Every structure is written in C-alpha cells, then in structure tokens.
Structure 1
Amino acid sequence: MNIERIRQPFIENFPGDFSNNPMQRNTPKVLFATIKPAGFNQPELIAFNEILSKEIGLGKFEDKDLDFLVGNNLPENVKTYATAYAGHQFGNWAGQLGDGRAILAGEITNEAGKKTEIQWKGAGATPYSRHADGRAVLRSSVREYLMSEAMHHLGVPTTRALSLAFTGEDVMRDIMYSGNPQLEKGAVVIRTAESFLRFGHFELMSAQREYNSLQELADFTIENYFPEITSSDSQRYRDFFQNICTRTADLMVEWFRVGFVHGVMNTDNMSVLGLTIDYGPYSMMDEYDLNFTPNTTDLPGRRYAFGKQGQIAQWNLWQLANALHPLIKDEKFLEDTLNNFGTYFWEAHDQMLCKKFGFDQLQKEDEDFFTNWQGLMQELQLDYTLFFSQLQKITPETDIKEHFKKVSYNLLNDQMLEKLNNFIKSYKARLDLNSISKEASLALMEKTNPKFILRNYLLYECIEEISNGKKEMLEKLTKALQFPYQEIYPEFSVKRPSGYDDTAGCSTLSCSS
C-alpha cells in the first residue's frame, strides 16, 4: 500500500495538544491531541478490503503492510492524532468526549482527486478514552467491518472498512454489564470516510465559547466537504445547517428503507456529512416492530427505537442548531428549518415506501394504506425484508397462508390470515392505480428492497467461526453483502432461527465492545 501519500490537513488548520501523552484528561481550547497507537507484537490479518484500498488510492496489500493496519512502525509522514468533541448522550449533556479508541492516520487522495480519511479503531488509549483502555474486541470489530460494507452496498451513506486484524492481545470486557467480565480476543479495524466530523465537534467549540474556532471549523468543513455552498457571510452558515438537515433526513429514510436500527443515536455519533457512523449495538430488522431497540442500554425507555429514529435525528439537529447559533444568529431561521424537517422527512419516507411497494407515485390515500400495513406487520410479526421479497412473488394462484408463513415469527390463526388476505386485496387494488406497467412496478421493488441483509445471528455465527480459526462464513458473508439485491446464498435469506431469539448478540446487544 502507498501509505507515504497520507497527509494531515486537519491538524495543519486547528490548535492541538502535541504532548503525545495518552493520559485521559480534558483538553480545553483544542480540537485534537497527537497520540501514538499502542503497538501490537503479534498481529494477524483477518480480512483486507482490496477493492476499497484501490478505490481510495492505497493500492494492493503486501505482507509488510500488516504493521500499518494495526498502527505499528509507522513512517514519518504519518502523524497520528485523536479529535475532541462533545455530545448529548441519551438526551443528557455529557460535556467533553472525543475519540476514545479511534486514532486518525490522516487523509489520502486518489488519482481522481477524491479525499478519504483513514482511522484505526481499537489501537489504544487516547486523551479522550476517559477510564477505558482504547482497545476493541473481535466481536465488535467484525460487526463494524462487515456492517459498514454491507450498508455501502445497500446504497446507504456510511463509513467503510479497509481491514480487520487480530492484535494478539486479550481484552477484558463485561459483555452484558452483568458483573461477569471475561477475556476476549482483541482486534483493530481500519475504517475510512470522507470525513469523521460529527455534530459533537461543533457542540464542543460552542459550549467552550470558542467562537473563532467554531467559525474556522465550519469554514473548513464547508470548503472541504460542501462544495455546493457558495454563499458568504451568515448565509453561508444557514446553507450549511440546511444542508446538514437535508442529508440527515435522507439518511434516516435510507435506514427505514433497509430496516437498520443504529441503537445509540447520541449527537456525538451523528455525522455532519450524513453518514452512518459508529457501528455499536445496531441491528437490521428481523420481525417488524417500530418499538424495537437492539441496545440493552436503551431499555426500558427505547429512546433509539426503530420508529423513533427520524424524531431523534430532529432532536439532535436542535442541539446542533444551538451550537451553530453564534454563527447564524437567526432564531426564526433555525426554528423554521427544524420545524420543516419533519415535513421533508415524512414526504421522503412515504415516497420511499411507495417504491418498496412498487407504486409509481404517492397518492393521498397511501397514508392510510401505510398505517394499516404497519399495524399488520407488527400484529403478525412479519419479517421486514422477507415480507417484500414474498410480496414481489405473488401470483393469482398464490396460497397466501403458505406464502407468508415462512416470513412470520407468529403462528397465523384464522383471524390473522383474514387480515392478511384483506391487505393483499387492498394492495392489488392500489397497484391497479399505477400508471406504469406491472414489469416496471416489479423492477422498482427489486431495486429498492434487498434480498439479503446482514442479520445479527449471521454476524454471531461468523464471529464464533473466526474465534475458532475459521473464515468460510466470513468469506461467504463478504460476497453476499456485495450483492444485497440478489440471492447469492439462499440459506442467508431466511428469518432468524428461533434458537437465537434470546441469545445475546443475536437480537439485542450492549454497548460493550
């Protein structure tokens, strides 16, 4: 890999702490601290994303590159650092936070001029680790490596994963916070993104009343990542905030489209570029449930449940609006923009559902149709992804009970079956209102509804295999996630086996990683 081309534009533009001291502490009035990765003596490569490596300009992997993938023996041009940010966590102000186990290597530019940031996760403590060790375990690293790539191929804006490696260390973790910590295999994942800038970076500068730095950070972000913004003065920052709102709403709609539940939508986990970042206790939807949260830490309140993600995104944007107010200084604009967020989101959401059902355009009656569908899905406990796969296959001869039995997590009694039959009749009647052909309607569904999603139980099985020195399932999942709108491996396109219903890591997870 050509790591000599990596540079550090961020630390060239902002104040930082250059002490190289990993002691956990507050670092007021700075946006980053230089820090060296811990270094690992016995690393072992698990997976390398050669396609991504070539895309971003690093090139082909060679054996000598393993050191770089875990942060060992870095060349002089790589000046590693961690950034400081703040945030609201579960609705409460948490003060200064930061990259607790994420260390940035810098930025690389490919031949087409596209810039990509490169970041280790799990390579050691930083000044922002608080009381943690900065390491990561195998299970969380595998989940981030595979899921970020799965989301990319689903067409959802996201960070991506370059590599996954064992560190050769064991790490102590209490997986369910039950007072029973155990040693687990340590790992490091390299993730990439156009930028890892978060709502929390702006919250920190504003909370510290570092308004000059806040403006410099906003200008830096606009100039590097928002080329469409050409306005000046305070209008420049209005356009900036409006753009973030639009990108965030679009991201939420994409999460709803594929059935992704983030699990921990704190403001420090929100990208200003509208990317999915920080894959922790996430889950793809199995049985449809608007109240489902995969994060045990989110119980019993379910703040970050599937159906609340749009609402929480708006709440988080209110916090960003407060942070950017010193630059915008227009309360009415901020209020109007945030109040309009819901209108934009729901319109985009319903347009998305139209495509999932094969409707060519949204009609007034569709709101009731969608509401009835949601109620049916929850009552019958139908699998979100498999439901649409089966819906596409309906013919006049289809036995509805047998057809949908394989996608229900509930036993379909006569009353439920009657409701399902009535819904299918209403769906067929709604399809008749289309102005496009049946073939065009089906094509619309096929490119909107994935046939393969990376379910938690599949990840669980994959992690178990890797822990035992096997990679067959890793290789199969890596191939399947690249073609989510095809059925590469039919055995993966089934509902979650009942034996995994109550298994930790298969339906719900903790934040432990």
Structure 2
Amino acid sequence: MNIDKITQPFTEIFPGDFSGNTIQRNTPKVLFSTVDPVGFENPELIIFNEKLSEEIGLGKFNKDDLNFLAATNLPKNVKTYSTAYAGHQFGNWAGQLGDGRAILAGEITNEAGETNEIQWKGAGATPYSRHADGRAVLRSSVREYLMSEAMHHLGIPTTRALSLCFTGEEVVRDMMYSGNPQNEKGAVVVRTAESFLRFGHFELMSAQKEIKTLTELTDFTIKNYFKNITSQGEQKYKDFFSEVCTKTADLMVEWFRVGFVHGVMNTDNMSILGLTIDYGPYSMMDEYDLNFTPNTTDLPGRRYAFGKQGQISQWNLWQLANALFPLIKDEKFLEETLNSYGNYFWKAHDKMLCRKFGFDELKKEDEEFFINWQGLMQELQFDYTLLFNLLEKLESISDIKTDFQKISYGFLDDAKIEKLEDFIQIYSLRLKANTISKEESLDLMRKTNPKFLLRNYLLFECIEEINNGRTELLQKLTKALENPYEEIFPEFSVTRPPNYDDISGCSMLSCSS
C-alpha cells in the first residue's frame, strides 16, 4: 500500500496537545491530541478490502502492510492523533468526549483528487478513553466492518472499512452489563471516510467559548467538504447549517428505506457530512415495529427507536444550531430552518415509500395508504424487507395465506388474512392509477428494495465462525452485501430463525457491542 502518501493536514491547522501520551484527561481549548497506538506483537489479518484500498489511493496489499493495518511499527510519516469532541448522550449534556478507541493515521488523496481520512478503531487508549482501555473485541469489529460495507453497497452514505485484524490479545468485556465479564478476542478495524467530523466537534468549541477555533473549524469544514457553498460572511454559515440539515434528513430517509436502526443517535455519533457513523448496537429491522430499538441501554424509554430517528435527528440539529449560534446570530433563521426540517423529512420519506411500493408519484391519498399499511405491518408482524420482495411477485401468488405466512413472525388467522386481502385490493387499485408502465413500476421497486440485508443473526453466526477459525460465512456475506439488490443466496431471504429470538447479539445488544 502507498502508506508514504498519508498526510496530516488537520493537525497542521488546529491547535493540539502534543504530549503524546494516553493519560485520560480533559484537554481544554484543543481539538486533538497526539497519541501512539499501543502496538500489537502478534496481529493476524482476517479480511482486507482491496477494492476500497485501490479506490482511495492506497493500492494493493502486500504482507508488509499488516503492521500498518494493526497500527504497529508505523513509518515516520504517519503521526497519529485523536480528536476531542463533546455531545449530548441520551438527551443529556455529557461534556468533553472524544475518540476513545479511535486513532487517526491522517488522510490519503487518490488520483482523482478525492481525499479520505484513515482511522484505526481498537488500537489502544487515548486521552479521551474515559478510563477505558481503547481496545475493541472481535464481535464489535466484525459488525462494524461488515455493516459499514453493507450500507455502502445499499447506496447509503457511510464510513467504510478497509481491514479487520486480530490483535493477538484478549480483551475483557461485560457484553450485557450484567456483572459477568468475559475474555474475548481483541481486534482492530481500519475505517475510512471523507471526514470523521461530528456535531460534537462544533459543540465542544462552542461550549468552551473558543469562538475563534469554532470559526476556523467551520471555515475548514466548508472549504474542504462543502465546496458548493460560495457565499461569504454570516450567510456562509447559514448555508452550511441548511445543507447539514438536508444531508441529515436525507440520511434518515435512507435508514427508513432499508429498516436500519442506529441504536445510539447521540450528537457525538452524528456526522457533519450526513454519513452513517459509529456502528455499535445497530440492527437491520426484522419484524416491522416503529418502537423497535436494538440497544438494551435505550430501554425502557426507547429514545432511539426506529420510528423516532427522524425526530431525534431534528433534536440533534437543534443542539448543532446552538453550537453554531455564535457564528450565525440569527435566531429566527435557525428556528425557521429547524421547524421546516420535519416537512422536508416527511415529504422525502413519503416519496421514498412511493418508490418502495412502485408508485409513480406521491398522491394526496397515499398518506392514508401509508398509515394503514404501517398499522397492518405491526398487527400482522410482517418482515419489513421480505414484504416488499413479496409484493414484487404479487401477480404470481396463488395462495396468499401460505406465502404471506412465510414472512410473518406471528400466526395469520382468518381475520388477519381478510385484512391482508383488503390491503392487497387497495394496493392493486393504486398501482392501476400509475401513469408509468408495470415494468417501470417493478423497476422502481427492485432498485429501492434490497433482496439481502445483513441481519443480526447472520452477523452472530459469522462472529461465532471467525472465533472458531473459519471464514467461509464471512466470504459469503461479503459477496452478498456487495450485491444487495440481487438474491444471490436464497437461504438469506428468510425471516429470523426462531431459535435466535432470545440470544444476545441477535436481536438486542448493548452499547459495548
């Protein structure tokens, strides 16, 4: 790989604490601290994303690159650091946070002039580890590697994964916070993104009243990542905030499209570029449920439940607005922008549902159709993904009860079948009102509705296999997630097997997952 081309422009612009140690502490008035990865004596490569490596300008892998992927014996041009940020966690101000187990190597620019940051996750403690060890376990690392790549191939903005390695260490974790810690295999992921900047970076500088640095950070962000903004003065910052709102709303709509539930939408886990970031207790939804949260830490309030993600993203944007107020100083503009967020989100959401159902455009009566559909989904306990896959084949269904029972997590009695038949009749009439052809309608559905989703039980099985020294399922899942709109492996297009219903890691997870 072309590791010698990695640079650190971020650290050249902003103030930093150059102490180069990992003592957990506050670092006021700075955005980053230099820090050395712990280094691992016996790393072992599990999987390497060669396509991504070529794409971002690192090139092909050779055996000498293992040390870099495991953050060990690094070349002199790589000067590692972690960033400080703040955030609201579960609605409460948490003060200074930061990259607790993430260490940045710098950034790489490819031949097309596109730049990506490169970051290890699990390579040791940083000043922001809050008395933790900065390590990562295999299960969380596999989940991050595979799901970030799955989201990319689904067409959803996301950070990406370059490699996954065993560290050769064992790490102690209490997976469900039950007072039963266990030794687990340690791992490290290398992930990439155009930028890892979060809402929390802006919140930290604003909370510390470091307005000069806040201004420089915002200018840096606009110059490097919002190049379409050409306005000046206060208007530049208004345009910036408006675009962040749009990017965030668009991301939420994409999450709803595929049934992704992040599980921990704290402001420090919100990308300023509208990327899906920090894959912790996430889940792809099996049974449709607006109240579903995969995060045990989110119970019983379910703040970050599937159906609340649009609302929470707006709440998080309010916090970003507060952070940017010293630059914008126009309370009316911020209020109007945030109050219009819901209208933009729901219109984009309903247009997305139109594509899922194969409708030509959003009609006034579609709102009632969607509301009735949501109620039916929850009552009949249908699998979110498989329902749309089945609707694509509606004309070929000969036995409604048999085929729809296969995608339900409950029992379909006669009364429920009658409701289903009424829905199908209404749906068929709506399709006939389309101004596009039947094939064009199906094409919309096929491009919008994935055939493969990386469900939690599949991840659980994959992690178990890797723990036991096998990677066959890992390779199979990688092929499937790279082609999510094709049914390459029909055995994956089924409801979650009932034997996984109550197994930790298959439906519910903790923040340590």
Equivalent residue, structure 2, for 1:358: 358
In the TM superposition, 1:422-437 aligns within 5 A as: 422-437=422-437
For the pair 1:400 / 2:400, whether they are aligned, the reply is yes
AA aligned to 1:126 is T
Cα offset, 1:399, TM superposition:
1.6
Equivalent residue, structure 2, for 1:93: 93
AA aligned to 1:415 is A
AA aligned to 2:462 is C
- Unmatched runs of 5 consecutive residues or more in structure 2: none
For the pair 1:374 / 2:374, whether they are aligned, the reply is yes
For the pair 1:247 / 2:285, whether they are aligned, the reply is no
For the pair 1:105 / 2:105, whether they are aligned, the reply is yes
For the pair 1:347 / 2:347, whether they are aligned, the reply is yes
Which deviates more, 401-410 or 280-289?
A: 401-410
Deviations 1:98-135 (A, max 9, x none): 00000000000001100000000000000000111000
Q: Aligned with 2:394: secondary structure? A: coil
Equivalent residue, structure 2, for 1:8: 8
Alpha-carbon distance in 2 for matches of 1:342, 1:398: 41
In the TM superposition, 1:415-426 aligns within 5 A as: 415-426=415-426
Alpha-carbon distance in 2 for matches of 1:20, 1:131: 17
AA aligned to 1:41 is E
Cα offset, 1:398, TM superposition:
2.6
Equivalent residue, structure 2, for 1:165: 165
Cα offset, 1:460, TM superposition:
0.1
Check 1:29–1:446 CA distance in 2 against 1; reply closer, same or farther (3 A cut). Answer: same
Equivalent residue, structure 2, for 1:147: 147
AA aligned to 1:315 is W
Alpha-carbon distance in 2 for matches of 1:287, 1:304: 17
Check 1:396–1:115 CA distance in 2 against 1; reply closer, same or farther (3 A cut). Answer: closer
Cα offset, 1:397, TM superposition:
5.4
Deviations 1:33-81 (A, max 9, x none): 0001000000000000000000000000000000000111111110000
**Count of matched residue positions in the alignment of Structure 1 and Structure 2:** 513
Alpha-carbon distance in 1 for matches of 2:267, 2:396: 49
Deviations 1:268-290 (A, max 9, x none): 00000000000000000100000
Equivalent residue, structure 1, for 2:257: 257
Cα offset, 1:396, TM superposition:
6.3
Contact 2:397 2:403 in 1 (8 A): no
Alpha-carbon distance in 1 for matches of 2:228, 2:308: 30
Q: Aligned with 1:244: secondary structure? A: helix
Equivalent residue, structure 2, for 1:219: 219
Q: Aligned with 2:340: secondary structure? A: helix
Cα offset, 1:476, TM superposition:
0.1
Deviations 1:345-372 (A, max 9, x none): 0000000000000001000000000000
Q: Aligned with 1:395: secondary structure? A: helix
In the TM superposition, 1:269-284 aligns within 5 A as: 269-284=269-284
Equivalent residue, structure 1, for 2:454: 454
Cα offset, 1:395, TM superposition:
1.1
AA aligned to 1:66 is L
TM-score, normalised with respect to structure 1? 1.00
Deviations 1:146-201 (A, max 9, x none): 00000000000000000000000000000000000010000000000000000000
TM-score, normalised with respect to structure 2? 1.00
Alpha-carbon distance in 1 for matches of 2:399, 2:335: 52
In the TM superposition, 1:318-357 aligns within 5 A as: 318-357=318-357
Q: What percentage of residue pairs aligned between the two structures are identical?
A: 77
Q: Aligned with 1:120: secondary structure? A: strand
Alpha-carbon distance in 2 for matches of 1:501, 1:414: 26
Cα offset, 1:512, TM superposition:
1.2
Calculate the aligned-residue CA RMSD, in Å.
0.5
Equivalent residue, structure 2, for 1:204: 204
AA aligned to 1:455 is R
Q: Aligned with 1:446: secondary structure? A: helix
Alpha-carbon distance in 2 for matches of 1:50, 1:89: 36
Alpha-carbon distance in 1 for matches of 2:470, 2:435: 51
AA aligned to 2:509 is L
Alpha-carbon distance in 1 for matches of 2:16, 2:495: 49
